A and B are shown apart, each in its own frame.
Chain A
Amino acid sequence: DAGVIQSPRHEVTEMGQEVTLRCKPISGHNSLFWYRQTMMRGLELLIYFNNNVPIDDSGMPEDRFSAKMPNASFSTLKIQPSEPRDSAVYFCASSHRQGANYGYTFGSGTRLTVV
Chain B
Amino acid sequence: AQKITQTQPGMFVQEKEAVTLDCTYDTSDPSYGLFWYKQPSSGEMIFLIYQGSYDQQNATEGRYSLNFQKARKSANLVISASQLGDSAMYFCAMKSQGGSEKLVFGKGTKLTVNP
Question: Contact between A103 and B101 (Cβ–Cβ < 8 Å)?
Answer: no
Min CB distance A90 to B, Å, is 11
Question: Is A98 in contact with B101, judged by CB distance below 8 angstroms?
Answer: yes
Provide the main secondary structure of the chain A interface: strand
Q: A100-B32, A103-B95 are in contact. Are A95 and B107 (CB under 8 A)?
A: no
Give 27 pairs: A residue, B residue, CB < 8 Å, sorted on A. Answer: A31-B101, A33-B101, A33-B103, A42-B105, A42-B107, A43-B91, A43-B105, A45-B104, A50-B101, A56-B102, A91-B45, A95-B101, A99-B33, A100-B52, A100-B53, A100-B96, A100-B97, A101-B33, A101-B50, A103-B50, A104-B103, A106-B44, A106-B46, A108-B43, A109-B44, A109-B45, A111-B43
- Could you tell me which A residues sit within 8 Å of B by CB distance? 31, 33, 42-43, 45, 48, 50, 55-56, 89, 91, 93, 95, 98-109, 111
